[in-house]
Amino acid sequence: MAYTGFIVSLLIITLLSWLYHQQYTTMLRYTAAVEHSYRAIAEVNRFASQVKDVETAERGYLLTHDSSFLLPYNDAVKSIEESLDSLASFTRDNPLLQQQVMSLRYTTQKRLLNLSGNSLNQLAGNPSLVSFNLLEGKMVMDTIKSAVSTLTRSELELLQERNNARESYQLAVPKILMVLLVFSSSLLLVSFVVIVQVLRKRKQYLARLETSNYELQANNEELAQIAKVVSHDLQEPLRKIRTFNNRMVIKHRESLTPDARQILGRLDEAVIRMQALVEDLMNYTSLTGNTDTIATVSLNDVVKRILQYYQPEIMDKKATIQVGPLLDVQGYDHQVFIALAAVVENALKFSSADTPLVIRINGRMDMARDAAPDEKRIAENKYYIVQIADNGIGFNDIFREKIFDIFQRLHSGEAQYEGKGIGLAIVRKVMHNHHGFVRAEGRENDGAMFCLYFPV
């Protein structure tokens, strides 16, 4: 909901900013157009003044025969041509005004020819022709004045239209700017309030999280201490039970019945199993609160050591071990050894009596998005995956998570399978310490595959 509101607000601000830009640009355009009209009107007035100067100079010359009147005449002729060129430039965006300027140019040039002719005729001493040209010149000047008046009126109308448009946009631009500022300020205020609330909630959450972490750490340390004490205290009674049991067997060997010997033998086996469980429990609790230093671990060396350690069992099972090239990972060497050894031991224990055991160990790099648990799918992490597959008795895939619970066993036939239900729990604990995870796939009587995901 917050993201939607932010996006909508951003779109509104963008729209208002665009609208303000359009209105402001249009206002500038009309302002320039108004200035353009003023300059065009000024040029029309200047043209009209120049035409009058030419007319005055010519009449002064005709009346006084003083050639000094011809000097402003010649200057005015040049200025008239420049004014007409300027008017043509000012009206190039308006075809109607362009047509009026062209008509004005034609009429003006005709009048200038008349004025020039009058001067020549006067010098030649032909007064009657001068009178005729003056009359014709008057008619042309009336036409010029009418054209100037029409052009001026058109420019004034255009000026009024542009000025009205400019004033309209000048009124609209501040309003849009005010709306934009008010909306932006409101959004900034709301954002500030939301950020303050989020920060306050985060602070409270961090405080609760810190408290929970402290309590969890204290509980873990207490549980680890209790487990260590219990494990240590259990070892001594178990050793005594086994010692007394052995002494009874040795001391009363002659008097014990076969049934009694069997009972004592089973008691000794139970004590041995209990000692192994206590030792595994100690190994499991030792993984809590790890203080080792992370270092580069050679998986090839780890696998070699594991195969050497289980060489007797491998020979006994006549197992075939296929090991592919493995990369190094960052982790705790001893814990990695324990995890991989537990999986290999699991394969050796739960092998099929009818099929020669084959264990395949390989590695590969992958993103593991589908296999990763929910809490690890947030980050786009790469994983180095160690795959250990076997062709043993396997398991029903619906128990793929249960097999990692501590002291959980899927096979009840203890005489046939020696599993204690803690090895795979240790594997999961080790992978948790490495910020990775473990996945298992299996089919009954068709083997199993365990994948250990080490983050890269």
Q: How many Å apart are CA 264 and CA 102, to the nearest integer?
A: 132
CATH 3.30.565.10 residue ranges for the chain: 291-455
The secondary structure of 80-101, three-state, reads HHHHHHHHHHHCCCCHHHHHHH
DSSP 386: E
At CA 55, angle to CA 52 and CA 59, rounded to 5?
140
- Looking at the chain, the domain(s) classified CATH 1.20.120.1730 span 2-191
- Residue showing tokens 């200047």: 46
- pLDDT digits 0-9 by tens, 60-94: 666 666 666 666 666 667 777 777 777 777 777 77
**pLDDT per position as a tens digit, 270-327:** 888 888 777 777 777 777 766 678 899 999 999 999 999 999 999 998 999 999 999 9
Counting runs of H as helices and runs of E as strands, what totals does the chain give?
9, 7
Please give the class, per CATH, of domain 291-455. Answer: alpha beta
Write out the two tokens for 421: 């239900």
Other Cβ atoms within 10 Å of 48 Cβ, number: 18
Q: Compute the distance between CA of residue 350 and CA of residue 327 in angstroms, rounded to an integer.
A: 28
Q: What angle do CA 259, 264, 269 make, to 5 degrees?
A: 125
* Angstrom distance (rounded) from CA 248 to CA 256: 9
Return the CATH class of domain 2-191.
Answer: mainly alpha
CB 205 within 8 A of CB 197: no
What is the reported pLDDT for 291? Answer: 66
pLDDT 10s per residue in the chain (456 long)?
556 666 776 777 777 777 777 777 777 776 777 777 777 777 777 777 777 777 777 666 666 666 666 666 666 677 777 777 777 777 777 777 777 777 777 777 766 666 665 554 454 455 665 566 666 666 767 777 777 777 777 777 777 777 777 777 777 777 777 877 887 788 778 878 888 888 999 999 999 988 888 888 887 777 777 766 766 677 788 888 888 888 888 888 778 788 888 888 888 888 888 887 777 777 777 777 666 788 999 999 999 999 999 999 999 989 999 999 999 999 999 999 999 999 999 899 888 888 899 999 999 998 766 556 655 554 557 899 999 999 988 888 888 888 888 766 665 544 455 556 688 889 999 999 998 999 999 888 888 999 999 998
CA atoms within 13 A on the CB side of 148: 23
In sequence order, which residues have a C-beta less than 8 Å from that of residue 117 and are 6 or more positions away? 133
CB-facing half-sphere around the CA of 430: CA atoms within 13 A: 26
Is beta strand 358-366 parallel, antiparallel or unpaired with respect to 320-323?
parallel
- Beta carbons of 294 and 336 less than 8 angstroms apart: no
Report how far Cα 67 is from the mean position of its chain's Cα atoms.
86
120-156 burial by CB neighbour count: b if 16+ within 10 A, else e? ebbeeeeeeebeebeeebeebbebbeebbeebbebbe
Tokens representing residue 379 in the block: 């980050």
Query: 383-390 and 437-442 as β-strands: parallel, antiparallel, unpaired?
Result: unpaired
**What separation, in Å, do the N-terminal and C-terminal C-alpha atoms of the chain show?**
35
- Cα distances (angstroms) measured from residue 81 to each of 104, 134, 253, 270, 432: 11, 22, 144, 125, 94
HSE value, Cβ hemisphere, 13 Å, CA-based, for 53? 17
pTM (whole model) above 0.75: no
In this structure, are residues 269 and 245 in contact, taking their beta carbons and an 8 Å threshold? no
Over residues 120-135, the pLDDT tens digits come to: 445 445 566 556 666 6
If one counts every other C-beta atom within 10 angstroms of the C-beta of residue 384, the result is 21
Report strand pairing: 358-366 vs 383-390.
antiparallel
Give the Cα separation of 104 and 344 in Å (integer).
107
Give pLDDT, residue 216.
81
